[in-house]
Structure 1
Amino acid sequence: MEKELKINTADSLKEKLWIGIPVVLLIGLLSVLIYNHHAEFSWNGFVEGFNEEFLVFFAIGVFAQLVDGTLGMGYGATSTSFLLAYGVPPVVSSTAVHVSEMFTTGASALSHHRFGNINKKLVKHLLIPGVLGSITGAYLLSDVINGDIIKPFIAVYMIILAVIIIRKALKKSIVKKKTKKLGVLAVFGGFMDSVGGGGWGPIVTSTLLGRGRNPRYTIGSVNAAEFAISFASGITFMLFGGIHGWQVIIGLILGGVIAAPLGAYLVNKIKRKPMMVAVGILIILLSLKTLSKLL
């Protein structure tokens, strides 16, 4: 009896830590950033920010979360494609996507943890390399790489991600194979996710599922690791690039949070393969629109 009580207490403590630590860190970080960039958070600027443009970002957040909730991937690729097509600079769009993902992936990771969908060994292999890759990519995009120069490359990268999503939808069941170099995969996935504004799911999840891994534990573990990747890149973007375009960030967060329950409900109502093909085609069209503006 005492042993069971200790186990339950330990599990309860772990769940509280899963929620408490990220929340405390996020509140502390946002407080410091708002203090350092208080001019961007004036009352007049805040009120004027809730305009028609904000509603566009809110709608993008809703749609991207519905895609991610039903497919288990595609939040970053979908939202970034829309934001770039709308004219948002790469560093602002990537910052907004990753800061909003702090909330959406945190909720997702907690849900997978509660349902026992996480393979701790797989998470450990992905976590540190993925975080290092995401921090490197976020730093380069916010402080080194010129956003105007990289914008067409990001659009092409989004087309590649869309092809990966469509390919996964059309692929038949495969035999399980041993996955090698998980660390390299995580570094690449984290780096491209930060620089491109999305790709952790399509790159890492698709590769692991393509090797025949169990979908339940793969999606759960990759989602759990994605919270740390989004948190690390979001912090890096804000520290080196500051806060720009808070309307985009708040719009994506509110849209994503509101759409999350609907996405969870629709996951068993909508056929995945046609949805994946449709989303892939949409991302390609949006990316082609972005490229056409630059050429």
Structure 2
Amino acid sequence: MPDFAAFDYSSILPFIAIGFAAQVVDGALGMAFGVISNTALLWIGVPPAAASAGVHTVETFTTAVSGVSHVLHRNVNWKLFFRLVIPGIIGGVLGAYLLSNISAAAAKPFILAYLSGIGIYLLVRAFRYPPQHKEPKVVEPLGLIGGFLDAAGGGGWGPVVTSNLLVQGATPRTTIGTVNTVEFFLTLTISITFLTQLGWAAFTVATIGLLIGGVIAAPFGAILAKRVPAKTLLALVGVILIITSLFGLWRALH
């Protein structure tokens, strides 16, 4: 267990701010908490496996609060929820085990380049809104791949799953709410898997700060997802996906 008596509590404040901002974006747009938080931990020198484990531990709490809030605001498509949750959990366990034992960094630039392209496509679709909404056909494979990449890459559930469901014509509000709600079960499973592989090494001052900020912010994302127009949500998802993917690609190649 971490030694809380030795913590420099003033150093938690920046991570509380990061956790708050990341969770507002994630709750409203269905992505970015893992990417933003994981990047912050890597910047301060936390090893990739420990950073991913810490972020997923935080997300277990933030997604629980966020999921409840999305349910209360009726942002969840339950048919889509049940199609995503089991494949997502399976992919998450496999990805967490892989990252704990070997490196999956080689594939990351290709994944980020793909997500950048998806972001551009969503941005174009937003300007041509309204599209014809329809139930997505490719769901279970997305859950499996999204869960795997989320654990192995320290983030990716929202960018992969939310963006691809929107490309298939799913409604932005319920897609975002559903993906966020499923993420609780995913992050809980991933955190347990990391705990069995890494022990308590992932728990740091930064993790505590992200947790405090994320939990405080979690209810606000569901409110924004419900109230912001669908066209605006689609455009914002595209912009966030492009920015985070290109930034991650730049870091991966340098």
TM-score bucket of the superposed structures, by smaller chain = 0.7 to 0.9
Summarize the alignment of residues 1-295 of structure 1 with structure 2, pairs less than 5 Å apart: 40-41=1-2, 45-51=3-9, 53-142=11-100, 144-146=101-103, 150-151=104-105, 153-154=107-108, 157-158=111-112, 160-171=114-125, 172-173=128-129, 174-176=131-133, 179-246=136-203, 247-261=205-219, 263=221, 272=233, 273=235, 277=239, 280-281=242-243, 284-285=246-247, 287-289=249-251, 291-292=253-254
Distance 2:216 2:135 in 1: 39
SS at 2:76's partner residue? Answer: coil
Query: Which AA in structure 2 matches 1:68?
Result: D
Q: Cα deviations across residues 21-76 of structure 1 (Å, max 9, x unaligned)?
A: xxxxxxxxxxxxxxxxxxx43xxx32332356534433321221132133232211
Distance 1:155 1:84 in 2: 17
Distance 1:163 1:236 in 2: 32
Which has the larger Rg?
A: 1
Closer, same or farther: CA 255–291 of 1 in aligned 2, 3 Å: farther
Q: Indicate the percent of aligned positions where both proteins have the same amino acid.
A: 41
Closer, same or farther: CA 167–181 of 1 in aligned 2, 3 Å: closer
Distance 1:88 1:97 in 2: 11
Post-superposition offset of 1:195? 0.6
Closer, same or farther: CA 121–276 of 1 in aligned 2, 3 Å: closer
User: Is the CA contact (8 Å cut-off) linking 1:169 and 1:277 kept in structure 2?
Assistant: yes
Closer, same or farther: CA 166–94 of 1 in aligned 2, 3 Å: farther
Q: Cα deviations across residues 177-233 of structure 1 (Å, max 9, x unaligned)?
A: 563342212111111111111111121111112111222332222222111111111
Post-superposition offset of 1:99? 0.9
Normalized against structure 1, the TM-score is what? 0.71
Distance 1:211 1:112 in 2: 22
Closer, same or farther: CA 82–291 of 1 in aligned 2, 3 Å: farther
User: Is the CA contact (8 Å cut-off) linking 2:38 and 2:52 kept in structure 1?
Assistant: yes
**Structure 2: runs of 5 or more not aligned:** none
Distance 2:195 2:81 in 1: 25
**Paired position in structure 2 for 1:13:** none
Normalized against structure 2, the TM-score is what? 0.81
Q: Which one scores higher on RCO, CA 8 angstroms, separation ≥ 6?
A: 2
